[in-house]
């Protein structure tokens, strides 16, 4: 557990002596798209139909606009507060090269986000840059999410599937999703049809039905390798996007998403420049095992923040 206890006030919860919890490391390490840094250094974000503000104050982390019930129902898990990140950092730092990235992103925590939101978010992430991904998700939420007011500003929840299933590909494209519109539409349809079928046939024998393979709950409940495989049954999801979804919303920590930054980091620290993404993934998973996802996050943050560039160093 990475905190001592909590103190509850009218409109906020104070997490006392929070360890391994640095706001820029958590919110700017690439795993989430709905958190924005404020001029005073705190972050305001939207998740699970709530808007909260997170502030660091000495050793404590303050969750504003948060009740004690929401802390225990949502945020304690969302922020992965029951995990001791020192154990992970000690283990990963046995590798001297990775230790550099761990020292740099020492306050990273992997958030436990909502599978439906993260599935669509990472379909949007394919061949896209993070500021643009954030903008597109914000547009979608502003159009079809629920408005919520905080400190005189309006924030929007990520839309419910029942609302998104009525949205056309053209309307999605108007939000800036580009060529991914058809993938999002198709994925929303499949998940919706699947949920509906399961709800209506709760007591029936379901094995033979093709549609139930799109059940995010059972995908999340499957083994890491099966989860990686099954996510790729959706259109617009390849190995890299599947790795991101399973790591950031399904607690599959052997995932090792290899994007351009992780590729550069792996080449910079371990491998030759001409290795394929698949080989880099296999190498990473063999090396870091059950902690691959965490290792990947320290590497991604290090590479992106330091703008590391392999070509210029190796040539």
Task: Give yes or no for residue 254 binding ligand 8HG (CB under 6 A).
Answer: no
Pick the closest to residue 30 from 136, 109, 97 (CA basis). Answer: 109
26 with 20: CB under 8 angstroms?
no
Instruction: Closer to ligand 8HG by CB, 176 or 257: give it.
Output: 257
Task: Give yes or no for residue 267 binding ligand 8HG (CB under 6 A).
Answer: no
Number of residues that bind ligand 8HG (CB under 6 A): 13
Task: Give yes or no for residue 293 binding ligand 8HG (CB under 6 A).
Answer: no
User: From the CB of 25, what's the least distance to ligand 8HG, in Å?
Assistant: 12
Pick the closest to residue 62 from 108, 8, 114 (CA basis). Answer: 8
DSSP letters for 71-89: IIIIIHHHTTTTS-HHHHH
The region of 85-93, 140-148, 257-265, 271-279 touching ligand 8HG under the rule CB under 6 A is 257-265
Q: Which residues from 20-59 bind ligand 8HG, rule CB under 6 A?
A: 30-31
Task: Give yes or no for residue 300 binding ligand 8HG (CB under 6 A).
Answer: yes
The region of 65-73, 106-114, 126-134, 181-189 touching ligand 8HG under the rule CB under 6 A is 126-134
The region of 17-25, 106-114, 216-224, 253-261 touching ligand 8HG under the rule CB under 6 A is 253-261
Q: What is the rounded CA–CA span in Å between residue 312 and residue 309?
A: 6
User: From the CB of 143, what's the least distance to ligand 8HG, in Å?
Assistant: 22
Pick the closest to residue 108 from 75, 79, 146 (CA basis). Answer: 79
* End-to-end CA separation in angstroms for the chain: 45
User: Rounded to 5 degrees, what angle do the CA atoms 140, 245, 107 make?
Assistant: 95
Instruction: Closer to ligand 8HG by CB, 148 or 277: give it.
Output: 277
Task: Give yes or no for residue 257 binding ligand 8HG (CB under 6 A).
Answer: yes
Task: Give yes or no for residue 262 binding ligand 8HG (CB under 6 A).
Answer: yes
Task: Give yes or no for residue 125 binding ligand 8HG (CB under 6 A).
Answer: yes
Task: Give yes or no for residue 176 binding ligand 8HG (CB under 6 A).
Answer: no
177 with 170: CB under 8 angstroms?
no
Q: What is the rounded CA–CA span in Å between residue 60 and residue 62?
A: 6
Task: Give yes or no for residue 259 binding ligand 8HG (CB under 6 A).
Answer: yes
The region of 9-17, 187-195, 221-229, 258-266 touching ligand 8HG under the rule CB under 6 A is 258-266
- The DSSP code for 180 is G
Instruction: Closer to ligand 8HG by CB, 64 or 109: give it.
Output: 109
- The DSSP code for 5 is -
Q: Which residues from 210-249 bind ligand 8HG, rule CB under 6 A?
A: 244
Q: Which residue is nearest to ligand 8HG (CB)?
A: 30
Neighbouring C-alpha atoms within 13 Å toward the C-beta of 24: 9
Pick the closest to residue 287 from 110, 102, 107, 97 (CA basis). Answer: 97
- The DSSP code for 256 is -
Segment (H or E) for 6: strand 6-8
- Of 5, 40, 129, 203, the one binding ligand 8HG by CB under 6 A: 129
**Neighbouring-strand partners of residue 107:** none
Binding positions for ligand 8HG, rule: CB under 6 A: 30-31, 125, 128-130, 244, 257, 259, 261-262, 296, 300
């Amino acid at each position: 557990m990475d905190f001592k206890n909590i103190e509850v006030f009218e409109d906020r919860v104070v997490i006392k002596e929070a360890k391994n919890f640095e706001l820029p490391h958590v919110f700017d390490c690439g795993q989430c798209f709905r958190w924005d840094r404020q001029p005073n250094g705190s972050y305001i974000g939207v998740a699970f139909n709530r808007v909260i503000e997170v502030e660091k104050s000495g050793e404590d982390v303050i969750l504003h606009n948060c009740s004690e019930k929401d802390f225990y129902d949502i945020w304690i898990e969302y922020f992965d507060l029951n995990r001791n990140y020192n154990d992970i950092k000690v283990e990963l730092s046995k590798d001297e090269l990775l230790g550099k990235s761990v020292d740099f992103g020492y306050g990273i925590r992997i958030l436990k986000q909502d599978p439906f939101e993260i599935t669509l978010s990472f379909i949007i992430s394919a061949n896209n840059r993070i500021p643009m991904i954030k903008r597109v998700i914000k547009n979608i939420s502003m159009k079809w999410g629920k408005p919520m007011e905080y400190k005189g500003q309006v924030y929007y929840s990520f839309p419910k599937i029942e609302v998104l299933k009525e949205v056309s590909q053209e309307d999605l494209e108007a939000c800036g999703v580009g060529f991914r519109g058809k993938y999002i539409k198709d994925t929303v349809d499949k998940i919706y049809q699947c949920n509906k079928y399961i709800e209506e046939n709760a007591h029936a024998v379901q094995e033979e039905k093709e549609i139930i393979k799109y059940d995010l709950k059972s995908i999340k409940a499957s083994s890491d390798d099966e989860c990686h495989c099954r996510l790729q049954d959706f259109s617009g999801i390849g190995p890299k996007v599947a790795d991101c979804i399973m790591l950031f919303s399904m607690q599959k920590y052997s995932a090792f998403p290899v994007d351009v930054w992780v590729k550069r980091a792996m080449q910079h620290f371990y491998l030759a420049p001409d290795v394929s993404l698949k080989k880099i993934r296999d190498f990473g998973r063999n090396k870091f095992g059950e902690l691959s996802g965490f290792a990947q996050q320290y590497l991604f943050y290090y590479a992106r923040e330091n703008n590391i560039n392999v070509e210029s160093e190796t040539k």
